[in-house]
């Protein structure tokens, strides 16, 4: 009997492997013992096993999507201090995190000075989208321009564009630091045009719209890019001073206060000693 059981088990593992059900393979014996102890029927046992397999698959797929998106750092909306950036509407951001704009193929544009949380918010929305099953890719704009130029030289532009076309959300971070070459700007424009009404875009920039011509080179291209990008788009301004600067200033103030506090603390006994000395003299 024991012999038969172990033979069946080997066969079962073999079948489960062939069917690519690793979680069921790993859990079936433990759960069978549990089901026997609980007097659970066969269908309940099967339901529990298949649920475990599905959950693990979803977890792995979410992990793969997150890796494929290549976020430079991981950021969340929970980690964003909305009180420090009143121009950013928390309700709107939470709504965007539900990703309905991606189903509607709409875009999101973050405009504001350096250090005001644009990359943080774009990443947080991207990560929320990964969690909900969307295919996302994060690029710094200069990185994408370089990649496009290289692909063009290597005659692999079509392949790259096909990969981009498969995305649900394309994040282009930091439009504005480096002016693109004429060809680079045209290739970027081509990506933005192809994404229009097919893939959602999140773009972050520290440049007001008037200055986009400096990056893209020509007024015609800038106009056409803005036209596509801002049609059906949420524009979110991150107004105010840099969070890093604010943080650094707050730390300096804290340090100053701590020093001030401890030195006056140190001064006090000295003064009293002095006073004591004066009294004694
Ligand atoms: P930007 O892209 O606008 O230059 P970042 O998003 O890179 O700014 O922000 C700079 C740093 O400050 C990041 O580490 C980011 O997580 C942090 N940061 C910015 N704004 C906030 C905020 N309101 N709450 C928490 N962290 C913030
Ligand atoms: Mg940034």
Which ligand has an atom closest to residue 113 CA?
A: 1
pLDDT for position 76: 97
Choose from 4-13, 177-186, 217-226, 231-240 the range with maximum mean pLDDT.
Answer: 231-240
Contact 46, 112 (CB under 8 A): no
User: Can you read off the two tokens belonging to residue 170?
Assistant: 């394309």
The sheet carrying 233-238 orders its strands as 136-140, 169-175, 200-205, 107-112, 233-238
Average pLDDT (68-81) is 97
The mean of the pLDDT values for the chain is 89
Q: Which atom of ligand 1 is nearest to the CA of 84?
A: 23
Angle at 243 between CA 241 and CA 248, to 5 degrees: 105
Burial 185-196 (b: 16+ CB within 10 A, else e): bebbbebbeebe
Share of the chain above pLDDT 90, in %: 74
Average pLDDT (63-75) is 97
Q: Which of 110, 117, 246 gets mutated to test ligand 1 (max ligand atoms within 8 A of its CB)?
A: 117
In angstroms, the CA 140 to CA 172 distance is 6
State whether the beta carbon of 212 lies less than 6 angstroms from ligand 1: no
Phi then psi dihedrals of residue 273, to 5 deg? -65, -40
Q: Which atom of ligand 1 is nearest to the CA of 117?
A: 6
Overall size of the chain counted in residues: 281
pLDDT digits (tens, 9 = 90+) for 144-180: 999 999 999 999 999 999 999 999 999 999 998 677 7
Phi then psi dihedrals of residue 75, to 5 deg? -130, 150
pTM (predicted TM-score)? 0.82
In angstroms, the CA 113 to CA 111 distance is 7
Q: Which atom of ligand 1 is nearest to the CA of 121?
A: 6
Coil, helix or strand for 135? coil
Beta-carbon contacts of 96 under 8 Å, excluding residues fewer than 6 positions away, are 108, 125, 234
pLDDT for position 34: 96
pLDDT for position 4: 57
Which of 97-111, 212-226, 249-263 shows the lowest per-residue confidence on average (mean pLDDT)? 249-263
Average pLDDT (179-193) is 89
Around ion ligand 2, residues with a beta carbon closer than 5 Å are 119
Query: Is the confidence at residue 269, as pLDDT, over 60?
Result: no
State whether the beta carbon of 85 lies less than 6 angstroms from ligand 1: yes
Query: Is the confidence at residue 125, as pLDDT, over 70?
Result: yes
In order of 106, 107, 221, the CA distances from 197 in angstroms are 7, 9, 18
Share of the chain above pLDDT 70, in %: 90
pLDDT level of residue 3 (50, 70, 90 thresholds): low
State whether the beta carbon of 81 lies less than 6 angstroms from ligand 1: yes
């Amino acid at each position: 009997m024991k012999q038969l059981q172990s033979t069946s088990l080997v066969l079962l593992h073999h079948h489960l492997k062939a069917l690519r059900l690793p979680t069921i393979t790993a859990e079936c014996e433990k759960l069978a013992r549990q089901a026997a102890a609980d007097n659970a029927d066969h269908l309940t046992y099967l339901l529990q096993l298949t649920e475990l397999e599905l959950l693990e698959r979803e977890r792995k797929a979410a992990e793969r999507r997150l890796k494929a998106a290549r976020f430079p750092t991981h950021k969340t909306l929970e980690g964003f201090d909305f009180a420090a950036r009143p121009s950013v509407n928390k309700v709107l951001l939470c709504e965007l995190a539900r990703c309905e704009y991606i189903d509607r193929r709409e875009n999101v544009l973050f405009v504001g000075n350096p250090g005001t949380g644009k990359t943080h918010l774009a990443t947080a929305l991207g990560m929320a989208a990964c969690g909900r099953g969307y295919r996302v890719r994060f690029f710094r704009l200069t990185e994408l321009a370089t990649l496009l130029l290289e692909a063009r030289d290597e005659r692999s532009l079509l392949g790259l564009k096909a990969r981009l076309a498969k995305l649900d959300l394309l994040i282009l971070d930091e439009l504005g630091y480096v002016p693109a070459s004429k060809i680079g700007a045209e290739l970027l424009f081509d990506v933005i045009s192809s994404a229009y009404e097919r893939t959602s875009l999140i773009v972050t920039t520290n440049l007001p719209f008037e200055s986009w011509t400096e990056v893209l080179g020509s007024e015609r291209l800038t106009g056409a890019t803005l036209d596509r990008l801002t049609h059906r788009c949420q524009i979110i301004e991150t107004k105010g001073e840099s969070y890093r600067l604010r943080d650094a200033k707050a730390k300096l103030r804290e340090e100053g206060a701590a020093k001030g506090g401890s030195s006056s603390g140190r001064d006090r006994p000295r003064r009293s000693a002095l006073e004591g000395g004066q009294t004694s003299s």
